[in-house]
Amino acid sequence: MTRSDLVEELAARFGQLTHRDAEFAVKTLLDAMSDALVRGHRIELRGFGSFSINRRPPRMGRNPRSGESVAIPEKRVPHFKPGKALREAVDARTKELLVGSEPKG
């Protein structure tokens, strides 16, 4: 699902929202989440999952072309951990799809 798909879905589900309002709502939500992560905060959406920042320590890597060692600096990267309800829903739905697509024989 892309951002524009999300906007379309929101506008379709809530008839009182114009496409522009739905687009503004999605943009505002994603901006607020991005800002919170940049500030180092954790975002928890019950039943869906949590977003946090993980630290990757500095390390030595290799340039694949020359084989030369390269120092890779420390990084902070966003991390998503799905909640129990989301994990279970995805697992159940995946099993339904797999059972329905098995060849009958």
* Kind of pairing between the strands at 69-72 and 43-45: unpaired
Partner residues linked to 53 by β-bridges: 78
In tens digits, what is the pLDDT along the chain, a chain of 105 residues?
Answer: 999 999 999 999 999 999 999 999 999 999 999 999 999 999 999 999 999 999 999 999 999 999 999 999 999 999 999 999 999 999 998 888 877 666 655
Cα 81 from Cα 104, distance rounded (Å):
36
pTM of the model: 0.75
